[in-house]
Amino acid sequence: MPCWRATSDTDIPGASVSCMRIAFTLDCCDREAISWVATTGGIDSSDIRDLMVESIERRFGPVDRLPVPIQWLSDNGWPYTAADTRALARLIGLVPLTTPIESPQSNGMAEAFVKTFKRDYARVCPRPDAVTVIAHYNSVHPHKSLGYRSPREFRALVKNGATDLAVSASRRPHQGPVSTVGVGSSSPAARSAETRSVWLDASPTEDHP
């Protein structure tokens, strides 16, 4: 069953205030940040319900219910576990699940996502606002687990049936020819701040849902 990961954090890069709370929906397959909500106050259950609806609309259009069930994985925070939140999730076709309590390893994707934002967008190459950050992350930012492709690039390959290319040993860097280095191998250049800066300076493609 497909899975979306819901997460939240503070201190968003490029925000005009010192602290902003923001919640994200991440696709566990292609790592895309599907949708988000942001507020200078705290995230409450109504924000999460809005996030659910917007995430579905961005992926499937204005539908009343998902065409297939999708797991909605979150931590145990009250906005996610509130009765109204879980009831809406089931109504629109999401399957609400929570990570085990005191199990940091189950939250790895969310932590990696927040770490990427704070490192690559707040420190290496700040962006003017959250919208620009999300667009760049989805369209340009490479992921090792996706063969050094961005979420949108990986998703396009899967949609076109090129799953062998999407998960093969050949990785596609954002600068230069295709490399024959395996996805599981270590590339010092790929990890350097200089190379990350090149990736971050690339022009993002148009941000389609």
pLDDT tens sequence for the chain (209 residues): 889 998 876 555 444 445 677 889 999 888 899 998 888 778 899 999 999 999 999 999 999 999 999 999 998 999 999 999 999 999 999 999 998 876 655 667 778 887 877 777 766 566 667 778 888 888 888 888 888 888 889 988 888 876 554 444 344 444 433 332 333 333 333 333 333 333 333 333 333 33
Q: 70 is written with which tokens?
A: 């999708």
pLDDT at 190: 36
CA angle, 28 as apex, 69 and 53 as ends, to 5°?
Answer: 50
Give the residue extent of every domain in the chain. Answer: 3-105, 108-201
CATH code for residues 3-105: 3.30.420.10
pLDDT at 51: 96
Question: How many angstroms separate the CA atoms of 159 and 178, rounded?
Answer: 21
Question: How many angstroms separate the CA atoms of 166 and 154, rounded?
Answer: 6
**Does the model's pTM come out above 0.85?**
no
- Quick one: which of 188, 137, 169 has its CA closest to 26? 137
